[in-house]
Amino acid sequence: MKGNHWFIAGIIAFLVLMFAIECRLPKKFVWNPTFSHYDKQPFGCAVFDSLLSSSLPKGYSLSRKTFYELEQEDTALRRGILVITDNLHLTNVDVEAMLKMAERGDRITLVGSSFSRILKDTLGFECGYSSFNPLALKKDAIALRSKDSLYWVGDSAIYPRQVFCFYPQLCQSHFFADSISCEIWAKKTIVGGVSHPVAMSVSWGKGEVMLVSTPLLFTNYGVLDGKNVAYLFRILSPMGGFPIVRTESYMKETAQVQMSPFRYFLSQPPLRWALYLSMASILLFMIFTARRKQRAIPVIREPENKSLEFVELIGTLYYQKKDHADLVRKKFFYFTEELRREIQVDVREVAEDERSFGRIARKTGMEAEEIAAFICEVRPVVYGGRSISEKEMKRLVDKMNEIINHI
């Protein structure tokens, strides 16, 4: 047991050492956009959600419901619904439910790099899309290259005109201004001096639908990039007077998974290594301590009933001795005992033969003369010592069995 204590202490010391080493290693960033509330990597939305939760007076919450489920709630309180994802693919049911909510007075903000055809046809807009390249973003950030300019062109009575600067990879997508009659909030100038909107709104019933083509600006990296968080609050200002619900139902499946304690362990390299080492240590502990510490306890089995095998063995021995008369004698004693017990007849008493044969005949349905002839034939073998053949022995034994079976 003392050796086991030292083994466990060594495992604990090793885990503490590995945990300390992992904590001091530089963190690795994952540059894949997830837009997840639980993701603290550059393109998660943990910072964005935390900022809005503490800043919006009417409240900010997260949901995983679709537009159809949100519309079915039929609440009298008007809300702002926010969707942030890379590729926003809505079905016919989603679009119909979203427009019903907007018609009742809800404010819908859709932030995405690309949109489904049904949504573009319904609202009458088109958008240009360029894939995101994280390597190009890191090169621009390291080289301190110039940023692109986004121009705020919304109602100057609410917000003054202002220029916001972002790296080009954060605002690759845009809308086509000549394809929709709407209110444009922000524009981006691309190659050739042509400007295209990146944020605009469409009035629908008592509410409106806001379209934004720069989802990466809403991530942790975009929020913490300079002073551009003011741009995000301008985008969300139409929903400022309403409680805002951000639904994660339209994100990728990998980003929708809720952060469980075990998943959190796996997401942190030091904790993940500690978990792996703990499992390996437990396995080694089981291997080295699985030896038996006391002598084996014998298994005591219940004695088997060998009576039938014993009888068969004894019968075989008698048969091999060829003493057929002795086998008939033993069978006759058993036969007489069975008759005495079942029908109270003793065939060993010669004086009672007439009464005995008659009683046996009545019980078995056999003829009294047949029974008398058999008893008179077997008595010389049992009492007189007459020798008989194997065939005669089998016939006499079978006859005794026949009488007993008929009782």
Rounded Cα distance between 351 and 224, Å, is 125
- Residue 246 has a pLDDT of 93
Q: Is residue 300 part of a domain?
A: no
What is the chain's mean pLDDT, rounded? 81
Q: Is residue 301 part of a domain?
A: no
- Same structural domain, 86 and 182: yes
Cα dihedral: 218, 224, 229, 232 (round 10) = 0
Contact by Cβ (8 Å): 97, 73 = no
- Same structural domain, 230 and 109: yes
User: 142 is in which domain, residue-wise?
Assistant: 35-251
Average pLDDT over residues 92-109: 92
- Same structural domain, 221 and 368: no
- Residue 140 has a pLDDT of 64
Q: Is residue 299 part of a domain?
A: no
- Same structural domain, 360 and 213: no
Average pLDDT over residues 123-145: 71
Domain holding 40: CATH number? 3.40.50
- Residue 259 has a pLDDT of 47
Q: Is residue 387 part of a domain?
A: yes
- Same structural domain, 110 and 3: no
Contact by Cβ (8 Å): 143, 135 = no
Average pLDDT over residues 32-56: 86
Structure tokens given for 387: 């020798």
Rounded Cα distance between 291 and 52, Å, is 59
Lowest pLDDT segment from 48-57, 104-113, 262-271, 307-316: 262-271
How many C-alpha atoms does 33 have within 13 Å on its Cβ side? 23
Q: Is residue 257 part of a domain?
A: no
- Same structural domain, 199 and 336: no
- Residue 109 has a pLDDT of 94
- Same structural domain, 4 and 39: no
Q: Is residue 91 part of a domain?
A: yes
- Same structural domain, 100 and 239: yes
- Same structural domain, 22 and 45: no
- Same structural domain, 315 and 229: no
pLDDT tens digits for 337-394? 888 888 888 887 777 788 888 888 888 888 888 888 888 888 888 887 778 888 888 8
- Residue 80 has a pLDDT of 93
Domain count within the chain: 3
Structure tokens given for 142: 């390291």
Average pLDDT over residues 319-337: 81
Verdict on whether the full-model pTM lies above 0.75: no
Rounded Cα distance between 160 and 152, Å, is 8
- Same structural domain, 208 and 136: yes
Q: Is residue 21 part of a domain?
A: yes
- Same structural domain, 243 and 103: yes
Residue 11 to residues 7, 284, 291: CA-CA distances in angstroms? Answer: 6, 10, 20
pLDDT over 60 (residue 139): yes
- Residue 81 has a pLDDT of 93
Long-range (24+ apart) CB contacts under 8 A made by 126-130 are 126/175, 126/176, 126/179, 127/173, 127/174, 127/175, 127/176, 127/213, 128/173, 128/174, 128/175, 128/176, 128/196, 129/172, 129/173, 130/172, 130/173
Rounded CA Rg of the chain? 49
- Residue 41 has a pLDDT of 83
Between the ranges 78-82, 129-133, 248-252, 287-291, where is the mean pLDDT highest? 78-82
Q: Is residue 297 part of a domain?
A: no
DSSP letter string, 4-51: HHHHHHHHHHHHHHHHHHHHHSPPPP-------TT--STTSSHHHHHH
